[in-house]
Amino acid sequence: MFGSIQVGRILGIPLRVHVTFVILVLLIGLGGLLAGGPTQALWSMLFVAALFACVVLHELSHSLVARSYGVRVESITLLPIGGVAAMEEMPRSPREEGLMAIAGPLMSLAIAGALYGVMHLLHYAGPATYGGQPWLRMLVQANLIIAGFNLLPAFPMDGGRVLRAVLASRMSHVEATNIATSVGQAMAVLIGLAGIFVFKVNLWLVIIAIFIFVGAGEEGRQVRVRAVLERITAGQAMATRFETLPRDATLAMALAYATQGYQHDFPVVEGDMIVGVVTRQDLLTGLHHLGAQHTVGEVMSTNVCQVPPGANMADVYRRLAQGTCGVVLVREADRIIGLVTPESFREQLLAANGSPAGPS
């Protein structure tokens, strides 16, 4: 996520902190300093750190359930409005998605229960923090709020994902997503209005409402695009007219091919073997940093992705979008019969979708 830095790993999952979260902690510390001096500032910042440790456990529970179903978890990022577990894709089984979604609120409830037990067992609620509330009592309340808020059927929040999982057990994934998206966006409007009129312009609720509304629309669009991609094969999306570049071709010569012709991305060959691929951006970068007389072999990627003609374009596109491959070669038997490039992919998507909208 742009603007975030990795601060460690937890059970193999990168933990990232967004710069705005750091700013939030400093502002809360400043507020504590002005209200009660250095001690109050310290306890205020420690409380926020403890609260977001609970958020990390909430997101980690999602991540571990998803990982148990074979989903790759890319990172957990802390934001001022909570945490985000970035996953390669959502579990497609309604049961798996439902269990993954409910794991987070259950973890928050478990944390609240454990803290409540400790508080009463020790007869100690911790030092007062900002607002005059004892530490542990505020953490219990905060975790209950996190669990309850996340269980609202506001897709793509946890409750909205549970709603989609229930719907998807009775209808198609796309239909379930469309309904969950509409419900989520309606809930976002209600939350935003409540933040403005009921809670006298509560900025956090308004921001959360915006995130929910935009997130629901974006995920709904992604699901619809994937449904289109699943009907397209690599053989349909590939460009069958293509040239190759020799490994020892100069960057100047290769860039002339890329800028003057229809083809922007090239397989790189050495003799009869394909040894890499090079994109127009690779050529431009190499020309800028190395010079025109350097060769294609110096800037090419040796990560050559190959798929059969019948490969599902949803999987091929994921590799293109993630930057795993700049170009995908389509191989039939011992022969390369085409290339799937971002350009050829978009053309086929437009033809299949019948509209100018596509993935960016």
Q: Residue 126 above 70 pLDDT?
A: yes
Question: Residue 28 — pLDDT band, cuts 50, 70, 90?
Answer: confident
Same domain, 21 and 144: yes
Dihedral sign, CA of 150, 151, 152, 158? positive
Same domain, 132 and 47: yes
What is the average per-residue pLDDT within 16-21? 89
Same domain, 216 and 291: no
The predicted structure's pLDDT at residue 65? 97
Task: Tell me 296's DSSP state.
Answer: G
Q: How many CB atoms lie within 10 A of CB 124?
A: 12
Half-sphere exposure of 64 (CA within 13 A, CB side): 12
Same domain, 52 and 118: yes
Among candidate residues 202, 229, 256, the one where a domain is terminated: 229
Tell me which of 58-62, 82-86, 176-180, 213-217 is least confident: 82-86
Strand order in the sheet with 266-270: 245-246, 266-270, 273-278
Tell me which of 49-58, 128-137, 150-159 is least confident: 128-137
User: Rounded to an integer, what distance in angstroms lies between the CA atom of residue 28 and that of residue 338?
Assistant: 57
Asked if the structure places residue 300 within a domain, the reply is yes
The predicted structure's pLDDT at residue 360? 33
The total of structural domains in the chain comes to 2
What is the average per-residue pLDDT within 185-191? 97
Q: Residue 346 above 80 pLDDT?
A: no
The predicted structure's pLDDT at residue 130? 63
What is the average per-residue pLDDT within 160-172? 96
Token pair in block for residue 335: 């022969």
Same domain, 171 and 26: yes
Same domain, 199 and 248: no
Query: Distances in Å between the alpha carbon of 8 and those of 11, 17, 48, 77?
Result: 10, 10, 19, 11
Same domain, 169 and 150: yes
The predicted structure's pLDDT at residue 334? 82
What is the average per-residue pLDDT within 299-325? 86
Q: How many CB atoms lie within 10 A of CB 72?
A: 12
Asked if the structure places residue 359 within a domain, the reply is no
Asked if the structure places residue 308 within a domain, the reply is yes
What is the average per-residue pLDDT within 14-32? 87
Among candidate residues 205, 229, 253, the one where a domain is terminated: 229
Same domain, 122 and 225: yes
278 Cβ contact partners less than 8 Å away, ≥ 6 residues apart: 245, 254, 265, 266, 268, 296, 299, 300, 301
User: Rounded to an integer, what distance in angstroms lies between the CA atom of residue 122 and that of residue 39?
Assistant: 23
Among candidate residues 198, 229, 260, the one where a domain is terminated: 229
User: Rounded to an integer, what distance in angstroms lies between the CA atom of residue 291 and that of residue 286?
Assistant: 7
Q: Residue 151 above 50 pLDDT?
A: yes
**pLDDT by residue (tens digit) across 42-52?**
888 888 889 99
b/e per residue, 310-327, with b = 16+ CB within 10 A? ebbbbebbeebeeeebbb
What is the average per-residue pLDDT within 185-194? 96
The percentage of the chain sitting over the pLDDT mark of 70, rounded to a whole number, equals: 96
For residue 298, the enclosing domain spans 234-353
Question: Residue 62 — pLDDT band, cuts 50, 70, 90?
Answer: very high
Asked if the structure places residue 341 within a domain, the reply is yes
Asked if the structure places residue 136 within a domain, the reply is yes
Contact indicator for 9, 15 with CB cutoff of 8 Å = yes
The predicted structure's pLDDT at residue 114? 97
Half-sphere exposure of 11 (CA within 13 A, CB side): 14
The percentage of the chain sitting over the pLDDT mark of 90, rounded to a whole number, equals: 58
Same domain, 83 and 192: yes
The predicted structure's pLDDT at residue 317? 83
Tell me which of 6-20, 166-180, 318-332 is least confident: 318-332
Q: Which helix (H) or strand (E) holds 165?
A: helix 158-168
Contact indicator for 32, 45 with CB cutoff of 8 Å = yes
Q: Is 242 left (phi over 0), alpha (psi -120 to 50) or beta?
A: beta
User: Rounded to an integer, what distance in angstroms lies between the CA atom of residue 297 and that of residue 204?
Assistant: 52
Same domain, 113 and 248: no
Asked if the structure places residue 358 within a domain, the reply is no
CATH of the domain at 328: 3.10.580.10
Same domain, 213 and 257: no
- The better pLDDT of the pair 295, 317 is held by 295
Long-range contacts of the stretch 313-317 (C-beta < 8 A, 24+): 313/229, 313/230, 313/232, 313/233, 313/234, 313/236, 313/237, 313/340, 313/345, 313/348, 314/226, 314/229, 314/230, 316/234, 316/237, 316/340, 316/345, 317/229, 317/345, 317/359
What is the average per-residue pLDDT within 254-258? 86
What is the average per-residue pLDDT within 204-226? 93
Tell me which of 32-46, 80-94, 183-197, 313-327 is least confident: 313-327
Same domain, 276 and 165: no
The predicted structure's pLDDT at residue 354? 57
Asked if the structure places residue 223 within a domain, the reply is yes
- List the end-to-end C-alpha distance of the chain, in Å, as a whole number: 16
Asked if the structure places residue 349 within a domain, the reply is yes
